[in-house]
């Protein structure tokens, strides 16, 4: 860095590097210098955090692996489920995409204490089957529990009052009528699509375990789920459960 | 923190049941059997025994590996996995912090001679295939592949201060795959494995910074100064993280006292942090002393080493300074908590526990009506995929963007064309046989890992001609560029930041390995 600019400019550069999921300080001299500076210079650290905050970004981690950012709520950087699958506006699709994300994260981190581990430790890769089985087993259990209860009526369905697992099971069943083997294809496809998009975001890499495709979580993904996503969604769920009978228009804030 | 409350609750429960139990007891109270509690218990289970026991437990997975020797396939039974495991830890710890940190290939190269020696002792011909299979089992065992790479879990019994025997479980890792900044996956020892291996049993084995500093000490003592600089940098990063964690805790407390569990967690963290800092300061002073001593006896000609040691000293001094400052802040921090306690003496909320993602998040979501689940996921979803880049419409930019040549993608993996052994030979055949023989002799004389620059200096010193130097460099480059390492004569990998300067050649230095590559 030959010309000296205002620290805010450098902070902006660092945040910009953080927004490139595939860039690594080890390969980019400027990125590396900025990360060093972040460690060395506490005033610079504050500037970077304030700048990111102003942009609507959480700084989750800064290390020699780079900077990991996460969007704050309603940030311009937040990718909503509606934008995740371009060309589809169906509520069911959005719901399944969201559930798939949680199922993927829970397959990578099967136990609560896994979230507490050092994110440098490479977690075992996951396959589409593993994620699908996790989701399906849960849904089948809920379906068994609900067997005694009457089936939801059409009015409930219209108003979005049927449980989320039914959407998943419906997706399975519509395929089942044609071919048992293809039964899980629809849901498998949802999960595979999610993993594939996550790969574009630098959250997974694709490798192979024998003939089967295996998805290896990256450090970036591990940091995102461990530091924020897991506990934040948990918090939302807990808040929603504590106020279950609130009017349906309530957004929970 | 929960463990602590549990223990105190359990022990008070134990007392309570004792009190109730006595009158009901089958035998009438015999005054002789009535122990004088504190002394007797103290003598029965000294508190440091628990610590020693925990240290010992860390060696059990190694013992397990050794026991499995007898149960392996017949053709692998003659390998002693305990010896091999120690060699693996040795290699991995030695390379810690080095740019060329140990990956599978490094392990294979380092272990091959040991495996071959065991083959020879058993009268078996060495076979690379079999070596690979054994290494798979060995690394799998050290990583706990059998249990999905979770930490090892060892249960043990200890007697607490009230004389109650309790079962505990200790979880720890020995070796794990880790993300390397370069994008590769490397094998890294856990802090526990470092401490056990380096026999620093009297240190807190879970302490990452203690491990980092122990590595600095060991590398300084072994004269591996460049590596010591890397490790010292790691230690400094640990100290920055540690400091951030404490400062974050203090900030959170001031802003929103409910977010911090100051009943148990925060005071515990403060106490532990103070103790940690005091221990670190002692060790860091030790490293500074050792570095100064080194510098005093080091001849001026070893300018590079002097520079490295001086860097270690500066980095360590920075840690020391940071820790001394933090120590002052920590002492002041107690007041922050006392103030908070005074202000908020009513029913504090428990600290936020970590969720089980399947049971605590996924299942409740599935049970919810789709409208509610959808709303929650709408809010939680962006956190799982990370920031996306908003697209700003700018026609001018769009046009020039569409016209520009395709930008090279950031390097994810390097595509390497497989090189035919015949092609390698063809390149070499341009040189006369005597030149090739001379080069081969110099390469064969090199033992294990050598820098290419050292090889060339040695060759020059022995009066080698330019063509001979060229052939050595060419063979090394073939080793570097070849994916199918078996077709090349040597293996080579880049040494970041190291330069090679020879009258003939200039560029990045390579680490050349000739072990097991008999031409």
Identify from B207, B384, B389 which residue to disrupt to test chain A contact, counting A C-beta atoms within 10 A and taking the largest count: B384
Q: Using CB atoms, which residue from B353, B363, B370 is nearest to A138?
A: B363
Return d(Cα B346, Cα B335) in angstroms, integer.
18
With beta carbons less than 8 A apart as the criterion, state whether A31 and A66 touch: yes
Helices first, then strands: H and E counts in chain B: 19, 7
User: At residue A25, does pLDDT exceed 60?
Assistant: yes
**Any residues with CB less than 8 A from the CB of A114 and at least 6 apart, and which?**
A108, A123
Domain ranges of chain A: 7-71, 81-242
Question: In which band, very low, low, confident or very high, does the pLDDT at B508 lie, cut at 50, 70 and 90?
Answer: confident
DSSP state of B159: E
What does the pLDDT look like over A187-233, one tens digit per residue?
888 899 999 999 988 999 998 766 778 899 999 999 999 988 998 89
Radius of gyration of chain B (CA): 30
What does the pLDDT look like over A143-171, one tens digit per residue?
888 887 777 777 777 777 788 888 888 87
Return d(Cα B69, Cα B447) in angstroms, integer.
31
Tokens representing residue A160 in the block = 């979005």
Identify from A234, A243, A244 which residue to disrupt to test chain B contact, counting B C-beta atoms within 10 A and taking the largest count: A234
More confident residue, B210 or A23: A23
Looking at residue B287, its pLDDT comes to 85
What are the C-alpha distances in Å from A37 to residues A40, A213, B245? 5, 40, 19
Looking at residue B443, its pLDDT comes to 80
Looking at residue B402, its pLDDT comes to 65
Identify from A25, A78, A84, A133 which residue to disrupt to test chain B contact, counting B C-beta atoms within 10 A and taking the largest count: A78
- Residue in this structure with the two tokens 């089985």, named with its chain if needed: A133
Looking at residue B352, its pLDDT comes to 57
What does the pLDDT look like over A99-157, one tens digit per residue?
999 999 999 998 888 888 888 889 988 999 889 988 988 998 998 888 877 777 777 77
Looking at residue B518, its pLDDT comes to 43
DSSP A66-133: EEEEEEPTT-TT---HHHHSTT---HHHHHHHHHHHHHHHHHHS-SGGGGGS-TTBPPPPB-HHHHHH
- CA B360 to centroid of chain Cα atoms: 31
Question: In which band, very low, low, confident or very high, does the pLDDT at B260 lie, cut at 50, 70 and 90?
Answer: low
- Residue in this structure with the two tokens 């899980």, named with its chain if needed: A184
Question: In which band, very low, low, confident or very high, does the pLDDT at A250 lie, cut at 50, 70 and 90?
Answer: very low
Interface confidence (ipTM) of the complex: 0.83
Residues on chain B touching A251 (C-beta within 8 angstroms): 375
Q: Do B365 and A237 touch (CB under 8 A)?
A: yes
Q: Tell me the pairing of strands B152-159 and B165-172.
A: antiparallel
> Closest approach of chain A CAs to the CA of B379, in angstroms?
7
More confident residue, A88 or B515: A88
Looking at residue B42, its pLDDT comes to 47
**Any residues with CB less than 8 A from the CB of B408 and at least 6 apart, and which?**
none
Looking at residue A179, its pLDDT comes to 52
Q: Do A122 and B178 touch (CB under 8 A)?
A: yes
Residues on chain B touching A113 (C-beta within 8 angstroms): 354
What is the mean pLDDT of the segment spanning B52-80? 87
More confident residue, A179 or B19: A179
User: At residue B502, does pLDDT exceed 90?
Assistant: no
Sign of the Cα torsion A79, A82, A88, A92 reads positive
Burial of B469 (0-12, 13-18, 19+ CB in 10 A): buried
Return d(Cα B503, Cα B460) in angstroms, integer.
10
Q: Give the 3-state secondary structure of B478-499.
A: HHHHCCCHHHCCCEEEEEEEEE
B234, closest residue in chain A (CA to CA): A64
Residues on chain B touching A139 (C-beta within 8 angstroms): 366
What are the C-alpha distances in Å from B406 to residues A151, B393, B403, B448, B483? 56, 20, 9, 43, 27
Q: Using CB atoms, which residue from A19, A65, A95 is nearest to B181?
A: A65
Burial of B212 (0-12, 13-18, 19+ CB in 10 A): buried
Q: What share of chain A is helix, strand, coil (3-state, %, to 5)?
A: 60, 10, 30
């Amino acid at each position: 860095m030959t010309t000296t600019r205002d620290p805010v400019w450098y902070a902006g550069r660092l945040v910009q590097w953080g927004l490139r999921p595939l860039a690594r300080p080890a390969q980019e001299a400027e990125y590396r210098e900025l990360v060093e500076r972040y460690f060395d210079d506490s005033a610079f650290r504050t500037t970077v955090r304030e700048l990111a905050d102003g942009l609507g970004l959480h700084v989750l981690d800064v290390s020699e692996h780079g900077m990991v950012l996460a969007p704050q709520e309603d940030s311009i950087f937040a990718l909503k489920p509606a934008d995740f699958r371009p060309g589809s506006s169906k509520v069911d699709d959005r719901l399944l995409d969201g559930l798939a994300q949680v199922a993927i994260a829970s397959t990578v981190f099967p136990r609560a204490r896994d979230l507490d581990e050092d994110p440098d430790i490479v977690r075992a890769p996951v396959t589409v089957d593993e994620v699908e089985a996790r989701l399906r087993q849960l849904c089948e259990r809920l379906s068994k529990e609900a067997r005694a209860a009457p089936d939801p009526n059409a009015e409930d369905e219209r108003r979005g009052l049927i449980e989320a697992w039914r959407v998943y099971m419906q997706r399975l069943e519509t395929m089942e009528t044609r071919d048992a083997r293809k039964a899980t294809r629809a849901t498998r496809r949802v999960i595979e699509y999610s993993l594939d998009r996550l790969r574009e975001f630098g959250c997974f890499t694709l490798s192979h375990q024998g003939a089967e495709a295996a998805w290896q979580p990256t450090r970036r993904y591990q940091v995102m789920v461990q530091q924020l996503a897991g506990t934040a969604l948990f918090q939302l769920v807990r808040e929603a459960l504590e106020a279950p009978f609130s009017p349906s228009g309530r957004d929970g804030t | 923190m929960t463990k602590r409350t549990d223990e105190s609750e359990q022990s008070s429960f134990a007392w309570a049941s004792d009190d109730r139990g006595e009158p009901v007891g089958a035998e009438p109270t015999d005054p002789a059997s009535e122990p004088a509690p504190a002394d007797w218990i103290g003598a029965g289970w000294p508190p440091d025994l628990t610590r020693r026991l925990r240290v010992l437990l860390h060696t059990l997975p190694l013992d397990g590996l050794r026991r499995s020797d007898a149960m392996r396939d017949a053709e692998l039974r003659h390998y002693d996995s305990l010896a091999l495991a120690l060699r693996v830890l040795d290699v991995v710890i030695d390379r810690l912090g080095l740019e060329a940190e140990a990956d599978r290939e490094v392990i294979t190269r380092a272990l091959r001679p040991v495996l071959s020696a065991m083959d020879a002792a058993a009268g078996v011909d060495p076979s690379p295939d079999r070596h690979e299979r054994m290494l798979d089992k060995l690394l799998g065992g050290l990583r706990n592949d059998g249990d999905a790479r979770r930490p090892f879990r060892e249960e043990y019994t200890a007697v607490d201060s009230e004389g109650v025997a309790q079962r505990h479980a200790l979880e720890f890792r020995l070796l794990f795959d880790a993300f390397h900044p370069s994008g590769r996956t490397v094998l890294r020892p856990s802090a526990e494995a470092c401490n056990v291996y380096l026999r620093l049993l009297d240190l807190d084995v879970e302490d990452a910074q203690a491990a980092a500093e122990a590595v600095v000490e060991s590398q300084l003592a072994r004269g591996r100064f460049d590596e010591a600089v890397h490790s010292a940098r790691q230690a400094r990063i640990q100290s920055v993280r540690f400091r951030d964690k404490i400062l974050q805790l203090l900030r959170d407390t001031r802003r929103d006292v409910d977010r911090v569990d100051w009943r148990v967690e925060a005071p515990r963290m403060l106490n532990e942090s103070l103790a940690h800092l005091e221990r670190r300061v002692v060790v860091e002073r030790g490293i500074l002393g050792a570095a100064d001593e080194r510098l005093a006896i080091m001849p001026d000609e070893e300018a590079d080493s002097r520079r490295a040691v001086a860097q270690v000293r500066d980095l360590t001094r920075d840690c020391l300074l940071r820790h001394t400052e933090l120590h002052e802040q920590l002492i002041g921090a107690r007041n922050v908590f006392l103030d908070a306690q005074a202000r908020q003496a009513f029913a504090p909320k428990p600290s936020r526990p970590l969720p089980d993602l399947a049971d605590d998040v996924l299942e409740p979501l599935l049970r919810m009506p789709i409208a509610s689940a959808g709303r929650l996921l709408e809010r939680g979803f962006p956190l799982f995929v990370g920031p996306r880049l908003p697209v700003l419409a700018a026609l001018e930019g769009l046009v020039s963007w569409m016209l520009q040549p395709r930008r090279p993608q950031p390097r994810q993996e390097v595509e390497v064309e497989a090189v035919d052994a015949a092609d390698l030979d063809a390149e070499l055949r341009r040189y006369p046989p005597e030149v090739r023989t001379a080069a081969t002799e110099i390469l064969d004389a090199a033992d294990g890992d050598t820098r290419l620059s050292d090889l060339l200096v040695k060759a020059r010193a022995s009066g080698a001609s330019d063509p001979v130097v060229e052939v050595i460099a060419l063979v090394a480059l073939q080793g570097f560029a070849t994916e199918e390492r078996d077709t090349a004569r040597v293996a080579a990998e880049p040494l970041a930041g190291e330069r090679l300067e020879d009258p003939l050649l200039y560029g990045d230095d390579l680490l050349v390995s000739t072990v097991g590559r008999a031409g």
